[in-house]
Amino acid sequence: MEFKYSQGIKDENKIAKGMGIGLNISFKHSVTVCNRIRNMNLSSAINLLEAVISQERAIPFKRFRTGVGHRRGDGKETIAKYPWKASSEILKVLRNVEANANYKGMDIEELRLVHIEAQKGARRRRIKPRGRWKLWRTELVHIQAIAKKT
């Protein structure tokens, strides 16, 4: 089964692509992380996600910010969280982009994330154990990333 990217790229020689399908992470957190690292250099985006996983830097929440506490930050954006689970899965996708760029012989320091996006995936429903009548609903997320040589 071939998955298609939502953004069409004309020159395939100058880009590196990566995709994560059916990730069990929060859709809201993945949208926020993707919005934060879009248009960043690939190496600086990887460094930022590693800092978020180790809880050294926080991701500012601009869209889904109801009930989000304040964090010590870099200036005005202090309403932030540490979405470590979404960051770790997106980091795997960025490592995939990095490996694809190495395979093509591209310099990683010159790559910029021109397209990174989180999309809603399938919804899994499972029955709760011990005969309870409610269902567990799990929404999966797809991540697409494209880095282009600048």
For the chain, give every domain's residue range. Answer: 16-149
How far apart are alpha carbons 98 and 18 in whole angstroms? 9
Comparing C-alpha atoms, which of 69, 46, 66, 49 is closest to residue 57?
49
What spatial distance separates the first Cα and last Cα of the chain, rounded to whole Å? Answer: 31
| Residue indicated by tokens 């980091």 | 91
Please say if the pLDDT value at position 71 is more than 80: no
What fold characterizes domain 16-149?
Ribosomal Protein L22; Chain A (3.90.470)
State pTM to two decimals.
0.87
Residue 148 pLDDT greater than 90, yes or no: yes
- Using alpha carbons only, what angle is made at residue 54 by residues 148 and 90, rounded to the nearest 5 degrees? 35
| Radius of gyration in angstroms for the set of CA atoms belonging to the chain, rounded to a whole number | 17
Tens digits of residue pLDDT in 86-101: 999 999 999 999 999 9
Q: Mean of the per-residue pLDDT values for the chain?
A: 88
Could you read off the pLDDT of 25-66 as tens digits, one per residue?
Answer: 999 999 999 999 999 999 999 999 999 999 998 888 888 777
Which pLDDT belongs to residue 1?
55
Q: How many angstroms separate the CA atoms of 39 and 136, rounded? A: 36
